[in-house]
A and B are shown apart, each in its own frame.
Chain A
Amino acid sequence: MPPTEPVDDDAYADDVADDGITAEDPGPPTDPKAVPPDQGDAGEAGAK
């Protein structure tokens, strides 16, 4: 299945506004330098 159309910038103005009001600031994230490299994903085997 091909990727569907991108989100229209204006179509989700309500969602963006809602989320901006209700979402709490998660606080400072972890320093990426302190995180080990990602180990990848299951790949196509994960589709089965």
Chain B
Amino acid sequence: MSVSGLNRQQRHIARELATQAAYLSLHHAPAVHYSQGPARFDGIKHHLIAAKGQFPTELDCSASVTWWLAQGLLFRFKLPDIVNGAKWMAGYTGTLAQHGREVIHLRNVIRGDAVLYGPAPTYEHTAMVVGHHNGKPVVISHGSEPGPFLLPFDYRGDVGQIRRYI
């Protein structure tokens, strides 16, 4: 059984959609602001579909990762909130850490996995894997106003764990 309960083909689609959404945010970085305010989950609230070129403009790191993952898990496959357990209306690194499953070995890390940074159990930052470059996972991270950025997964020295939700 997969983490999400989706079959192999569905998981593939969910990873594609999540990655596509992350790149959409990356490519519109000047319009995507960093915010911990109440609008940070508007991308899900307003059902913004990355495949249609729609994207939210005020998010923090965890809201970004959640909106990216919601493209497949919620909008496409109508799953309950298996990412934060908050009915797709809220979440932060602490709830991300309480859901999904940890990926132990780096060789098994794939697109759509979330990297959690900082001290357990609540952590303080997250980013999502979008591929590999020279054999090393690469993430898109929205942790500051100039972001999102494409970065090596270990661009910070405090990688806590990597979790899978798809």
Contacts and interface: CB of A to CB of B under 8 A. Distances in A.
A4 B100 contact: yes
B108 A1 contact: no
B12 A18 contact: yes
B90 A47 contact: yes
B149 A30 contact: yes
Given A36-B144, A46-B91, A47-B92, A28 B155 contact: no
A46 to B, nearest CB: 3
Contacts of B101: 3-7
Given A3-B97, A6-B104, A40-B124, A15 B144 contact: no
Given A7-B102, A36-B146, A37-B144, A42 B60 contact: yes
A32 to B, nearest CB: 4
A17 to B, nearest CB: 10
B71 interface: no
Contact of B155 (A5, A16, A22, A32): A32
Contacts of B110: 12, 15-16, 19, 23
A7 B125 CA distance: 21
Given A4-B3, A12-B2, A38-B144, 5 more contacts: A2-B98, A22-B16, A36-B144, A36-B146, A43-B92
